[in-house]
Amino acid sequence: MAGQPKPPEAVLLTDFENDTESEADTRREVRQLNLAAVATAGFTVLILLLSMVWNGDHSIDDNDILNEEWWSVPLEDRWLMDLNMTGERSQLPEQGPYNWTGPSEYFVEVDLPASEQDAGFPGPALMHIALWMPNVPEGTTVPVIATVHPYYDFGGEGVVGDDSNPNTVPDRGVGEWVLEQFVPHGYALAQVSTFGTGQSTHCQDVKGLGEQTGIQAAVEWLGTQEWSNGNVGLMGKSYAGTTNWEAAQNPSEHLKTIVPISGSIGVQQMFYRNGSSESRAMLYDALYEGATTDATEDDMRMCSDDVIGPVSPFTTWAGAGLGGDEWNDYWDERYHLQDVIDNYEGSVYIVWGLQDWNVDPYHAFPTYRMLNDAGVHTRVISGQWAHNYPDQPEIHGGLTSGYGEEAYPNMSRMDWAIEMWNWFEYYLKGNGEEPAAHAQMQTHDGRWHVEETWPPEDMEWTMMDVSTWDSNGGMSVSATSSLTVTSPPMEEDLHIQGMPTFHVRASTGLCNGGQLFVTMRDATEDLRLGHATMDVRYRDGGYESQAAAPLSEYTMMMEFNPMDVRVPAGHSIELVITESGEDYLPSPCAAIGMTISGGEQPLGLPLTDRSDNAEEWFNVPPWWNNETET
């Protein structure tokens, strides 16, 4: 069992500006300010009433926002707030009243199922936790915001490279930001190393049952300490976002909310979009095992999946449809979403970049809607950033054309700290109103809009027959050949919201497989808009393979990655069909390829009608004005 932390000494910070005024002067100034505030409020109400009479539209002046508490300012009005946007990340408008103490370190012993016991050099399975506590008054309990991942002491003791910081140093992603923005407001921060990493013992079971069990035990411990109010939230990006889903698979009752930021819903789902294999899949498991290797007895321990993990990606790529992807339960054990839907009763705030090529946004959609449909209260924010946080304008500025540049600088959300404040205050402290389960989305050209769900309920499908478009190239698609088709100019503006479909009929050659990669472009602007990929062995979509035979015709039910794109009237849409693309591996049959069949080839576009003054559009805080002023 882990040791119990001592309640930290209470230190309430009220003297933020080293004020040297006397107490009497302070009281007098407060009275003066109160009188001024009352007078100002009365004058504001009078002006408001007069404006309603004179204008007849009952509109509220922008300055009225100054009379609201900062956390209650509506989303559409935050752009009017006087926020501090001079830092690298978003900041809360108000500094918290508490100092903090830490880190304190704890080891939590985990009771693992028999299938997950160590082999080779068994010993206690311990999760290592570093904890920072706000110095609240004695007897006050606090909630916990935790981040969990393997990247503490990561790098192989100099074998692969210099180690990263241990978990006793606030990490640059979540830890440092939470420590600065939320701990002073009465939250604890926990940084937790997954099994086999940092000072946590046991073997590293990459995203498997053993790792899931350890994370869930850490959450339980954080929620049951005497200083805890019993509410725990997890937050993190990439692997540290995946651990959020892992925690919610068989969750502790103390897990109240998770904020997965580009965290995959499953390992197979991350690497095999409709069967197409990402290049990094082949070495994924092996590289994680190598990066956490050091000269200690921990590396004499083995997990049951240490052998089949590195082999499974190759057998899936080469032998799908013939049992190569089904000969063990490695992928099933690492599919997190269904367990979350079945077992989790907390809330979810999904954060994803629509230009994320590390963990693609198809993890977020339709996940967002599936969770809400299952009764899991879920919000999503998706801008045109890549594998980043929403509030990293300096990093967002490095995006290139067709991959997010057109949405910059409007993509960066320097009000995101307020977003998280309202979310954590409600789910971890019980303060305020429950945040809406809406979707905040950004178009490829930079406009933000909020939808009750996504794709929106008023979305309608428009079908286009690609076989009637102009074509350039032969009908064969292989490692050395491609096909481009271009539509006539659009007769009206299009707003694509969702995941377009392309049900293409194609034939295999003298090989029992094949693959298509389709890039959608605005031909008039010469601008990439989105993409889809599919291995013919996964022709029905999803992750269940079927055998494919040589010289056979199949309908490949392709689905594009989520798109929020506007195509103006008069512009043409172009589809570039190749054998592979971007960071995907060629198929085993790439040299022979596939042949696009004749006849109808339907492209489905999910369209919505949003006029320029539709109520869904909203502005975001213009952080770039600070750049101009400096």
Whole-angstrom CA distances from 515 to 272, 499, 585, 593 are: 12, 19, 10, 7
Residues 510-556 have pLDDT tens digits of 999 999 999 999 999 999 999 999 999 999 999 889 999 999 999 99
pLDDT value of position 219: 99
311 and 186, same domain (yes or no): yes
366 and 466, same domain (yes or no): no
Which tokens is 63 given? 């300055």
Q: What is the pTM of this model?
A: 0.87
pLDDT value of position 287: 65
- For residue 243, pLDDT beyond 60: yes
Q: Give the C-alpha separation, 116 to 392, whole Å.
A: 39
Is the omega angle on the peptide bond into residue 455 within 30 degrees of 0, that is, cis? yes
Q: Where are the beta strands (DSSP E) in 354-482?
A: 378-383, 439-442, 448-451, 460-465, 470-472, 476-477
List the single range of 112-126, 268-282, 364-378, 443-457 with lowest mean pLDDT.
112-126
Question: Residue 211 phi/psi, 5° resolution?
Answer: -65, -45
464 and 443, same domain (yes or no): no
pLDDT value of position 38: 37
527 and 396, same domain (yes or no): no
Q: Give the C-alpha separation, 362 to 502, whole Å.
A: 16
Closest to 514 (Cα-Cα) out of 564, 575, 558, 470: 558
Percent of residues, the chain, with pLDDT higher than 70: 83
Whole-angstrom CA distances from 278 to 275, 310, 488, 560 are: 9, 14, 33, 16
**20 domain-assigned:** no
Max CA separation in the chain (angstroms):
92
Report the pLDDT averaged over residues 201-212: 92
Which domain-ending residue is among 451, 474, 506? 451
Is the omega angle on the peptide bond into residue 103 within 30 degrees of 0, that is, cis? yes
Is the omega angle on the peptide bond into residue 5 within 30 degrees of 0, that is, cis? no
Model confidence at 276, in pLDDT bands (50, 70, 90)?
confident
Q: Give the C-alpha separation, 202 to 121, whole Å.
A: 9
The number of beta carbons lying within 10 Å of the beta carbon of residue 602 is 14
302 and 412, same domain (yes or no): yes
Q: Give the C-alpha separation, 193 to 208, whole Å.
A: 15
Which tokens is 599 given? 């006849």
Q: Are 426 and 349 in contact (CB under 8 A)?
A: no
Domain count, the chain: 3
**447 domain-assigned:** yes
Q: Are 560 and 551 in contact (CB under 8 A)?
A: no
**94 domain-assigned:** no
Q: Where are the beta strands (DSSP E) in 198-320?
A: 228-237, 255-261, 272-273, 276-277
Is the omega angle on the peptide bond into residue 588 within 30 degrees of 0, that is, cis? no
**5 domain-assigned:** no
Which domain-ending residue is among 44, 67, 90? 67
| Torsion angle of C-alpha atoms 461, 463, 464, 465, degrees rounded to 10 | 160
Going by C-beta distance under 8 Å and a sequence separation of 6 or more, which residues neighbour residue 92? Answer: 181, 182, 185, 417, 418, 421
**203 domain-assigned:** yes
- For residue 102, pLDDT beyond 70: yes
- For residue 44, pLDDT beyond 50: no
**624 domain-assigned:** no
423 and 468, same domain (yes or no): no
Average model confidence (pLDDT) across the chain: 87
The number of beta carbons lying within 10 Å of the beta carbon of residue 183 is 25
The letter for the amino acid at 479 is A
The letter for the amino acid at 49 is L
Residues 408-424 have pLDDT tens digits of 999 999 999 999 999 99
Alpha helices in 67-201 (DSSP H): 175-181
pLDDT value of position 151: 92
341 and 391, same domain (yes or no): yes
Question: Residue 215 phi/psi, 5° resolution?
Answer: -65, -45
- For residue 322, pLDDT beyond 90: no
Q: Are 402 and 410 in contact (CB under 8 A)?
A: no
Please give the radius of gyration of the chain, using alpha carbons only, rounded to the nearest integer: 27
10 Å CB burial of residue 575 (0-12, 13-18, 19+) is buried
Q: Are 467 and 619 in contact (CB under 8 A)?
A: no
Q: Give the C-alpha separation, 39 to 36, whole Å.
A: 5
Report the pLDDT averaged over residues 479-485: 98
* 506 bridge partner residues: 554, 596
Which tokens is 465 given? 């027959």
pLDDT value of position 628: 58
Report the pLDDT averaged over residues 253-270: 97
Does an H or E element contain 46, and which? helix 23-55
Question: Residue 626 phi/psi, 5° resolution?
Answer: -65, -35
Q: Are 440 and 75 in contact (CB under 8 A)?
A: yes
**213 domain-assigned:** yes
pLDDT value of position 121: 57
479 and 372, same domain (yes or no): no
Which tokens is 619 given? 């502005």
496 and 430, same domain (yes or no): no
Residues 492-507 have pLDDT tens digits of 999 999 999 999 999 9
CATH for 111: 3.40.50.1820
Model confidence at 293, in pLDDT bands (50, 70, 90)?
low
**625 domain-assigned:** no
Half-sphere exposure of 198 (CA within 13 A, CB side): 25
Q: Give the C-alpha separation, 299 to 159, whole Å.
A: 14
Model confidence at 9, in pLDDT bands (50, 70, 90)?
very low
- Long-range own/partner contacts, residues 459-464 (CB < 8 A, 24 or more apart): 459/497, 459/498, 459/606, 459/607, 459/608, 460/606, 460/607, 460/608, 461/604, 461/605, 461/606, 461/607, 462/494, 462/604, 462/605, 462/607, 463/602, 463/603, 463/604, 463/605, 464/602, 464/603, 464/604, 464/605
Report the pLDDT averaged over residues 196-220: 94
Angle at 266 between CA 265 and CA 267, to 5 degrees: 140
231 and 282, same domain (yes or no): yes
Which tokens is 478 given? 């292989």
244 and 131, same domain (yes or no): yes
Can you tell me which residue has the tokens 């769900």? 453
Report the pLDDT averaged over residues 575-588: 95
267 and 387, same domain (yes or no): yes
Query: Which structural domain range is residue 41 located in?
Result: 28-67
